[in-house]
Amino acid sequence: MAASIRHLLKEGSQYVIRGTLWIEVENERFFGPGRVELLQRIDETGSIRHAAADMGMSYKKAWDMVAAVNKQAIQPLVVPKVGGEKGGGSVITAEARELIAWHAQLRERFLAFLEKETNNLKENK
């Protein structure tokens, strides 16, 4: 396919194929880079509010993302901690960690695909 567009590419220019990877369920985003980062930051901070602040995201948006991923998975990936001396907070589950690891492996394969296609484009130029 790349050979068929050779005549459209500027000589000496560096073309690179890029892409973003996420999983959808019933036409809604389920899991991708933003949710991965949010879950990782919840894991680090113990708080949806702090995770959102670290990402420059509103608390409401982060809460909505957590509610969506919890609803879309077979069981919650983020669970609240009961308040105490420092108040409540949230933790991610073992299943969330498993999904994060699986997504990282999927992303590695996806990046390898993009690199391969970029190389094919360069070779056919």
DSSP result, 52-114:
HHHHT--HHHHHHHHHHHHHHSSS-SEEEPPP-TT---EEE-HHHHHHHHHHHHHHHHHHHHH
Lookup: tokens for 25: 């369920």
CATH number at residue 53: 1.10.10.10
Phi, psi of 10 (to 5 degrees): -70, 135
**pLDDT given at position 2:** 43
Is residue 4 one of the residues assigned to a domain? no
Is residue 15 one of the residues assigned to a domain? no
Is residue 7 one of the residues assigned to a domain? no
Task: Count other C-beta atoms under 10 Å from residue 67's C-beta.
Answer: 12
* Domain encompassing residue 74: 22-123
pLDDT in tens, 67-78: 999 999 999 999
83 pLDDT above the threshold of 80: no
Is residue 80 one of the residues assigned to a domain? yes
**pLDDT given at position 84:** 62
Is residue 3 one of the residues assigned to a domain? no
Is residue 13 one of the residues assigned to a domain? no
pTM attached to this predicted model: 0.84
Domain count, the chain: 1
Is residue 2 one of the residues assigned to a domain? no
32 pLDDT above the threshold of 90: yes
Question: Mean pLDDT, to the nearest integer, of 24-32?
Answer: 95
Q: Could you tell me which residue, 4 or 68, shows the higher pLDDT? A: 68
